[in-house]
Amino acid sequence: MKKAYLYIRVSTDEQAETGYSQRNQEEALRRYCIVNSITILDVIYEDHSAKSFQRPEWKKLLVMIKKNKGKSTLVLFTKWDRFSRNAGDSYQMINLLARMGAEPQAIEQPLDLSVPENKMMLAFYLASPEVENDRRALNVFHGMRRAKKEGRWMGIAPIGFRNCIDEDNRRKYIAPDKTTGPIMVWAFGELAANRFNTQEILRMVRDKGLRCSKNNFWVAIRNPVYCGKIFVPPLKDEPGQFVTGQHMPLISETLFYQCQDVLDGRKRNPNNKPKVVCDDMLPLRGFLECPQCSKLLTGSASKGRNQYYYYYHCSSQCGIRFKAELANNEFIDYLKTFVPKPGILDVCTKEIVAQFKTENHMVQKERRRLIEEMDVCNKRLSNARILRVEGELDEGDFNALKEDINAKMNSIEATLGRLSGKSREINEIIEESLNQIAEINKFYETSTLERKRNIIGSMFPEKLVFDGTRHRTARINRGVELIYLKSNKLEGKKNGTNQCFSDLSHEVIPLGFEPRTHTLKVYCSTS
């Protein structure tokens, strides 16, 4: 009596759970075995695609056949497309089964493979499912490409978006997610600011509740879908292109391209700020320099019996080590010395507003120049189309010229976006900001860790040196010098540095021997 394994396959889990195909196949195979007096050894249920034989249940079947090698067995299925949809792999598998003494057979498409002419029918049965798969895949591919050209996102929504469907249950689209969308907007803003490296930003967005892998996050921050653009990849002679999406963007194009500049290394880290994240107890980590070997001090916590103790220390052999609490408190005391002199904030506000107006005038002039340049590009593209229609410009030259013009126009649009982001009403913003830094030590104490590090990095372009008792630095920011009048050079410029002698006082204290007599005055005449 013949023995057989019954192989029942569907393509997906959903078909296996809710469809009727598996039950129909099993019923037909069992009926065939009863009519032909075939003993059923086992029934194998598969829910994987037949594009290859890398299927878990099929591998188990091969193991069972190999154990019974030498015994004539059958592998029964309803049709050859249940066996495979790849003609090349099918021939190899048929030969492998033959060497193990097994014979595959489709009960609804029976073939006696010992007859040479039947191999032509076998080729047809094996090739037709593959052709059907390829045609279906090609139709899906072109349909998705057409949808992309129309600005529709195809597939699972990126991080920060969600898949939606309209009221008629016909049109699918993506929309910003209320939970993860703002987190991604924050992530792009931090990337453009270039304060932290990408790994640290990923850690922070995970702390905010975003769940994604490192690879998915890297793919997301490179995806132009966040600024409302969808990339259509090149195909044969058709070049790749960006199209405007039908979805609502999360960020502006300007912000997106600023992030790409940072990721590509075209935007430097401002003021050489260390792109690291620290513990709340170690805000000065990365800003302190070792007083002995001039290396950067790192920070760490030591676990005591009941609590953690934080330290700034050098990683070299010099052994420098300071308590973090002492260094942090001394830094706050150091900031107390930065108190603006009376009236200096009003002067700074007027000067900044005046400078901004001058800059804004230049911005508007630059915008007009870029708009004129955009018009020139549009005229060039229009002329190229006319020449293409009249036959004076071939297809290759037209595509190359179109690609160059589009690239230049995209660059101009990005620049225009950056320029249009500047606000003209800044009086209130400047006044509020200067009031905050009037008592910079209090502002620093009540700030978050991120803002504390921004304050340190913006005030001190060079590293701080803490010798165990006080902080000292080689240089402070020029703007800080002007606001707080901290520089000795500024103090020394009050007398005797004006090149216009008519502006100087006629009552000058002479530079005699030390100590100088401040009560003695010499009256000078300009006559």
pLDDT in tens, 337-367: 777 766 776 777 777 777 777 767 777 788 8
Check residue 490 and give its pLDDT. 46
pLDDT digits (tens, 9 = 90+) for 174-197: 999 999 999 999 999 989 888 777
300 three-state secondary structure = strand
Please say if the pLDDT value at position 85 is more than 90: no
Does residue 57 have a pLDDT over 80?
A: yes
Residue 493: is its pLDDT beyond 60?
no
- Work out the end-to-end distance of the chain between its first and last CA atoms, rounded to an integer number of angstroms: 136
Q: Is the pLDDT of residue 319 over 90?
A: no
Going by C-alpha positions, the residue among 246, 426, 434, 265 that lies closest to residue 346 is: 434
Per-residue pLDDT band for 162 (boundaries 50, 70, 90) equals very high
Who wins on pLDDT, 18 or 161? 161
CA angle 202, 203, 207 (to 5 degrees): 115
Token pair recorded at residue 502: 């008519």
Rounded to the nearest 5 degrees, what angle is found at the Cα of 100, between the Cα atoms of 96 and 101? Answer: 115
Give me the percent of the chain exceeding a pLDDT of 90: 17
At 489 the pLDDT is 45
Residue 487 pLDDT exceeds 90 = no
**Environment class of 317 (CB within 10 Å of its CB; exposed 0-12, middle 13-18, buried 19+):** exposed
Between CA 459 and CA 338 the distance in angstroms is 11
- pLDDT of 407 > 60? The answer is yes
For 24, residues 6+ apart whose C-beta sits below 8 A from its C-beta are: none
CB 148: neighbour CB atoms within 10 A?
18
pLDDT of residue 428: 63
Q: Is residue 520's pLDDT more than 80?
A: no
- Cis peptide bond upstream of 515, omega within 30: yes
> Which of the 8 DSSP states describes residue 176?
E
Q: How high is the pLDDT of residue 284?
A: 85
List residues bridging with 466 in a β-sheet.
Answer: 471
pLDDT (0 to 100) of residue 74 = 92
pLDDT band at 6 (very low <50, low <70, confident <90, very high): very high
Q: What is the mean pLDDT of residues 151-169?
A: 87
Q: What is the pLDDT of residue 425?
A: 56
Is-above-0.75 flag for pTM? Answer: no
Q: Where are the beta strands (DSSP E) in 95-205?
A: 102-106, 161-165, 172-176
Please choose, from the candidates 461, 506, 466, the residue with its C-alpha nearest in 3D space to the C-alpha of residue 481. 461
pLDDT of residue 431: 66
Separation CA 30–CA 174 (nearest Å): 48
Q: What pLDDT, on the 0 to 100 scale, is given for residue 177?
A: 92
Mean of all residue pLDDT scores within the chain: 80
267 confidence band (pLDDT: 50, 70, 90): low
- Supply the DSSP symbol for 296: B
pLDDT (tens digit per residue) in 387-404:
888 888 888 888 888 888
Q: Tell me the pLDDT band of 466, cut-offs 50, 70 and 90.
A: confident
Least confident of 106-110, 325-329, 446-450, 519-523: 519-523
What is the DSSP annotation of 355-399? Answer: HHHHHHHHHHHHHHHHHHHHHHHHHHHHHHHHHHHHTSS-HHHHH
Q: 32-65: b or e for each residue (b if 16 or more CB lie within 10 Å)?
A: bbeeeebeebeebebbbebbebebeebeebbeeb
3-state secondary structure 196-265: CCHHHHHHHHHHCCCCCCHHHHHHHHCCHHHHCEEEECCECCECCEEEECCCCCCCCHHHHHHHHHHHCC
Predicted pLDDT of residue 28:
92
Quick check: 442 pLDDT over 60?
Answer: yes
| Closest to 401 in 3D by CA, of 374, 382, 373, 375 | 382
User: Residue 29: how many CB atoms within 10 A of its CB?
Assistant: 22
Q: Place 524 in a pLDDT band, splitting at 50, 70 and 90.
A: very low
